[in-house]
């Protein structure tokens, strides 16, 4: 059986280090927001290239707290994409703001900066740029749009730990960067976890306050906050995995290159890498007009791909007919019908990639 993602395999790769880190926490006296969280925050900020990082409970909270820390709330609009995890839009609404959704570009599947002007209003306060599948967005074009219109640029880097845009790590270029450390991510915990990065120290202090009831001193809430604390066990595990992240991402890129070599000229469209970007291949996503048949053939062979994402957010029951979008969402609609995520993780074997490619080549229309 070949799974789309396999967090257990990564644990096995670093089992001794992870078990030692967990045991160290269990033998200690701090379990939430202690020395492991503080060390992770310092190490992750240094890795990303920002002055500060703040550990939070999950990636959705990372986005919500970043939005709130920027004083964006009820009545304010935040532009992002519909072709993303629903968490991006859920975070905007959890902060009380209004999501506005733009189409993506047809080559790289990320936010299309040429469509932003049509959605701009006097209520627009920020753009959330999603580095989808590990591919950095065009941060130059989006950043210029934000600068011209006095908007905050928020990077949703939940699928792009370690990716670079023009040599800089994503999460260090916008006003704030937000990361999920869900178990399947490039930097994954063994439960929920998230991180926020910024070089605005005042903003970092506010996020720290918001994650713990708005406290500056214990039991005294200076601003309305909530509970989004990161626990010591997850931080200890993430510190171990952070030490291996570049190596793991290198394996992902190598596997992606092998897929592209084997699938070039096949009936699927293979992913492109944007110029000036270093892709970290959280997912290897192909496009095919015969997806259902291909999925069935894969499953019959014990291979389980994923679909990221099958229904655009603006078409889902919770959001349908109430979210403003760009005039055309044609690319988003096409992707929802055609994208397929092939298994990809650092521990995947070349023989397994060859098997996947062989099943794909043999698959014929029904």
pLDDT tens per residue, range 283-322: 999 999 999 999 999 999 999 999 999 999 999 999 999 9
pTM of the model: 0.97
Q: How far is CA 133 from CA 279, 285, 342, in A?
A: 8, 8, 12
Mean confidence (pLDDT) of the chain:
97
Q: Are 163 and 169 in contact (CB under 8 A)?
A: yes
CA 288 vs CA 218, 282, 298: distances in Å: 55, 19, 14
DSSP one-letter string for 131-168: -GGGPPP-HHHHHHHHHHTT-EEEEE-TT-TT-EETTE
pLDDT score at 216? 87
Provide the pairing of β-strand 152-156 with 124-130.
parallel
- Give 7-26 pLDDT, tens digit per residue: 999 999 999 999 999 999 99
**Integer Cα distance of 226 and 228 in angstroms:** 6
Residue 259 CA: distances (Å) to CA of 279, 308, 344, 357: 15, 18, 10, 7
Domains in the chain, CATH or no CATH each: 7-102+110-243 (3.40.640.10), 245-362 (3.90.1150.10)
Rg (CA), the chain: 20
CB 175 within 8 A of CB 198: yes
Six-digit token pair at 188? 């994954």
Written as six digits, the tokens of 58 are 């999950």
The predicted pLDDT at position 146 comes to 98
Q: What pLDDT score was predicted for residue 152?
A: 98
Collect the ranges in the chain with pLDDT lower than 70.
365-366
CB atoms within 10 A of CB 191: 14
Residue 40 has which token pair? Answer: 């992770």
CA dihedral 353, 354, 356, 358 (to 10 degrees): 170
Contact 151, 120 (CB under 8 A): no
Are residues 125 and 76 in contact, defined by beta-carbon separation less than 8 angstroms? yes
Distances (CA, A) of 102 to 74, 94, 114, 313: 20, 20, 10, 11
DSSP letters, 192-231, are --EEEEES-HHHHHHHHHHTBTTEEETTEESS---B-PPB
Of the CA atoms within 13 Å of residue 33, those in its CB half-sphere come to 11
Report pLDDT digits (tens) over 236-271.
999 999 999 999 999 999 999 999 999 998 999 999
Q: Count how many residues are written for the chain.
A: 366
Pairing outcome for strands 339-342 and 284-287? antiparallel
Contact 34, 231 (CB under 8 A): no
pLDDT at 365: 64
């Amino acid at each position: 059986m070949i799974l789309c993602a396999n967090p257990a395999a990564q644990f096995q790769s670093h089992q001794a280090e992870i078990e030692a880190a967990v045991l160290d926490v269990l033998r200690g006296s701090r379990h939430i927001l202690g020395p492991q969280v503080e060390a992770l925050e310092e190490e992750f900020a240094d890795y990303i290239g920002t002055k500060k990082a703040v550990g939070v409970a999950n990636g959705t909270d990372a986005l919500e707290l970043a939005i709130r820390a920027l004083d964006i709330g009820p009545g304010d609009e935040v532009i992002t994409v519909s072709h993303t995890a629903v968490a991006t839009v859920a975070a905007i609404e959890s902060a009380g703001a209004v999501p506005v959704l733009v189409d993506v570009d047809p080559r790289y599947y990320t936010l299309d900066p040429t469509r932003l002007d049509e959605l701009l209003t006097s209520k627009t306060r920020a753009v959330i740029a999603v580095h989808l599948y590990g591919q950095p967005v065009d941060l130059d074009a989006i950043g210029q749009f934000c600068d011209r219109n006095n908007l905050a640029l928020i990077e949703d880097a939940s699928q792009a730990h370690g990716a670079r845009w023009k040599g800089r790590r994503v999460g260090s270029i916008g006003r704030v960067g937000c990361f999920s450390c869900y178990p399947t991510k490039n930097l994954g915990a063994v439960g929920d976890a998230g991180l926020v990065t910024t070089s605005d120290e005042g903003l970092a202090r506010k996020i720290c306050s918001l994650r713990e009831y708005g406290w500056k001193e214990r039991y005294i809430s200076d601003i309305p906050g909530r509970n989004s604390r990161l626990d010591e066990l997850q931080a200890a595990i993430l510190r171990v995995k952070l030490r291996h992240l570049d190596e793991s991402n290198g394996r992902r890129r190598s596997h992606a290159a092998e897929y592209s070599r084997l699938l070039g000229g096949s009936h699927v469209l293979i992913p492109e890498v944007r110029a000036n970007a270093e892709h970290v291949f959280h997912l290897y996503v192909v496009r095919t007009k015969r997806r259902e048949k291909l999925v069935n053939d894969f499953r019959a062979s014990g291979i389980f791909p994923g679909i990221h994402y099958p229904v655009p957010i603006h078409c889902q029951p919770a959001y349908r007919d109430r979210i403003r979008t760009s005039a055309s969402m044609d690319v988003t609609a096409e992707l929802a019908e055609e994208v397929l995520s092939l298994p990809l993780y650092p521990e995947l074997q070349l023989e397994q990639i060859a098997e996947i490619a062989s099943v794909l080549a043999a698959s014929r229309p029904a």
